[in-house]
Structure 1
Amino acid sequence: MDPIATPPSFVTQALRDLDAWVRHFRDAEIPVLGSTADALEAMRANEDDVDANLIGEMVADDPLMTLKVLAYASTHRPPRLITDVETVTAAVVMMGISPFFGNFGRQPAIEDWLGDQPEALEGVGEVLRRAHRAAQFALSFAVHRMDHDAAVIYEATLLHDFAEMLLWCHAPTLALKMRSAQKADPTLRSHAVQQQVLNIQLFDLQQALMRAWALPELLIRITDDRHARHPSVQNVMLAVRLARHSAESWDNPAIPDDITALAQLLNLSEPATLQFVRDIES
């Protein structure tokens, strides 16, 4: 990894309202995993041997690079293209290999971006690892259900908490303040502490940014927990809940309720469902 060219300017005080936060993040630089930045450069050096599937697979484990590619593709979609570009692979196909590398130069790495903020680096790392586990769960659930939108469900789960990731990267002091408040008072609800510290709720910011970037309608809908009765949304929600509740161990008292709900979605018995999710990580 190389040091970032321009040190980031962090937000240290809550912005006025949702519009102000959207304006800030809409055009902000987004750092990616160092491994993604390095892999991108390795592919750039061998561009003739690279195709859209290889790039899609490389990006698939990195929520922030996924977000960058989809946002760019959605805001630079040619007028002749009627359908939404719903996956990274489809976005690269739309752009072409050489234009993709032209549009995405050397990427800033999170590890450099937060190099002098070790607690924030740890914080965003936790969210990224949880997102990756949740996406793996979600993909397995979708494949079991034979959902034709499995690839979009995977990406929707990967991006489910991207606003929290952006907050760690751009406002680490505020993100740490929220984490400290919840550690001091475990009964404090996330939406309450977000409103108190940020003047907004991260869900609202996330939905507003997805609209501002014109992300695919299916992706926006699947990540909207308010549509919880839709099977694809349930797929995402349960994967996110299970990844969160099992992050430390499988002894979390909330997990039995997750398994009960998941058993209904997958049409399996509860013992079979528990075995199914445990096998995903084996």
Structure 2
Amino acid sequence: MLDTPPPRDLESWVALLSGAEMPILRQTARRLDEARQHMDRVTGRDITDIVLQDPLLAIRVLAYIQSFNSKHLRSEITNIASAVMMLGVNPFFRKFEDPLTLETALGRKPQALLGVLQVILRTQRASRYAHDWAFARHDMNVEEVALAALLNDLAEVLLWCFAPERAIEIRSRLHAARTLRSASVQRAVLGFSLAELQLALCHAWRLPALLTTLMDNDSAHLPRVQNVKLATNLARHSIDGWTDPAIPDDFAAIQDLLNINRETLLSRLQLPPELLPGLASDPAGTE
């Protein structure tokens, strides 16, 4: 999507991305258009359900609501349902009318389009896991946790959108040397890690401190942050199948978080029966 070479430092990247128009999924744009045609029957919950399937629209809504009459907000808006309620149905559709879609923006870069769609699919999966586990933990605000998981890899999504050549280079280096750490490769290619970019964007968009904390690995001792991190990890490790060697460790950590055994976890994940024999071993035997 960039017509010029990508920026060279973190500050310039933040300036570029925080001021750019974020494209959204074509499917999201289609669902919004269908809802707009029946606006008299559309509820805030209907809109929220659409937004929570698309990390790019979700961040657009959050960034906008933080700047929208922010001096008069009595408390931070930390979920999409509250943001939609604050905006109202009609103003929401006016604000997000005729959006640019990913498929249009990257139509001439099929490899980039495929790359970003794969990452978004992973974030959607992570959000579903996080929502399910937060509900099981009786979290006071399940949607905050699910939203944090949906947005946790936003910087990677944006890299595929605005500098796909860099995203491809990072992916190629990691595939060529599986022992390399992602952050190290990202710093070698970009000069900074995507986690650093993500945090800087959160500050630039003035996102609520709660959401920033939920996406911050430095706060991993908190159960809600663990929920987000484990959902993100399992989605990343399982997106190409259930054979990644890291998955047993993921399972053990999730079992500890939810205080359940392996059989219950596999049931919650609704995995295909043919996968169960290889994943059913539970050395910890957590009950």
Whether these two folds match at TM > 0.5 is: yes
Question: 1:212: which partner in 2?
Answer: 204
Question: 2:276: which partner in 1?
Answer: none
Asked if 1:170 is matched to 2:172, the reply is: no
Asked if 1:101 is matched to 2:100, the reply is: no
Distance 1:113 1:257, change over 3 A: same
Question: 1:120: which partner in 2?
Answer: 112
1:97-123 Cα shifts (integer Å, max 9, x gaps): 221122112111111111011111111
Which structure has more RCO (C-alpha within 8 Å, separation ≥ 6)?
1
Structure 1: give runs of 5+ residues left out of the alignment. 1-7
**Which AA in structure 2 matches 1:35?**
Q
Q: For 2:193 and 2:101, how far apart are their aligned partners in 1?
A: 27
Report if aligned partners of 1:142, 1:235 keep a CA contact under 8 Å in 2: yes
Question: 1:9: which partner in 2?
Answer: 2
When the two structures are aligned, how many residues end up with a matched partner?
Answer: 274
Q: For 1:126 and 1:9, how far apart are their aligned partners in 2?
A: 20
Alignment of 1:194-213 (within 5 A): 194-213=186-205
Mean Cα deviation higher: 70-79 or 217-226:
70-79
Identity %: 40
**Which AA in structure 2 matches 1:87?**
N
Question: 2:81: which partner in 1?
Answer: 89
Aligned match of 2:179 in 173, 187, 195? 187
Q: For 1:180 and 1:252, how far apart are their aligned partners in 2?
A: 18
Question: 1:4: which partner in 2?
Answer: none
Report if aligned partners of 1:12, 1:174 keep a CA contact under 8 Å in 2: no
Matched residue SS, 1:47: coil
Aligned match of 2:54 in 42, 62, 73? 62
Asked if 1:274 is matched to 2:266, the reply is: yes
Alignment of 1:70-85 (within 5 A): 70-85=62-77
Report if aligned partners of 1:71, 1:214 keep a CA contact under 8 Å in 2: yes
Q: For 1:22 and 1:196, how far apart are their aligned partners in 2?
A: 18
Q: Cα offset for 1:10?
A: 4.4
Q: Cα offset for 1:275?
A: 3.2
1:11-55 Cα shifts (integer Å, max 9, x gaps): 544x23211111011110111000111121222233222221111
Q: For 2:62 and 2:227, how far apart are their aligned partners in 1?
A: 21
Structure 1 runs of 4+ with >6 Å offset: none
Report if aligned partners of 1:242, 1:258 keep a CA contact under 8 Å in 2: yes
Question: 2:102: which partner in 1?
Answer: 110
TM-score (norm 1): 0.92
**Which AA in structure 2 matches 1:230?**
L
Question: 2:140: which partner in 1?
Answer: 148
**Which AA in structure 2 matches 1:271?**
E
Alignment of 1:223-262 (within 5 A): 223-262=215-254
Distance 1:279 1:143, change over 3 A: farther
**Which AA in structure 2 matches 1:100?**
F
Distance 1:150 1:280, change over 3 A: farther
Matched residue SS, 1:186: coil
Report if aligned partners of 1:10, 1:170 keep a CA contact under 8 Å in 2: no
Report if aligned partners of 1:131, 1:240 keep a CA contact under 8 Å in 2: yes
TM-score (norm 2): 0.90
**Which AA in structure 2 matches 1:181?**
R
**Which AA in structure 1 matches 2:131?**
L
Q: For 1:87 and 1:125, how far apart are their aligned partners in 2?
A: 23
Q: For 1:11 and 1:139, how far apart are their aligned partners in 2?
A: 39
Question: 1:5: which partner in 2?
Answer: none
1:200-235 Cα shifts (integer Å, max 9, x gaps): 111011111111111122111101111001000000
Q: For 1:137 and 1:261, how far apart are their aligned partners in 2?
A: 14
1:235-265 Cα shifts (integer Å, max 9, x gaps): 0111111111111222221111111111110
Structure 2: give runs of 5+ residues left out of the alignment. 274-287
Q: Cα offset for 1:198?
A: 1.0
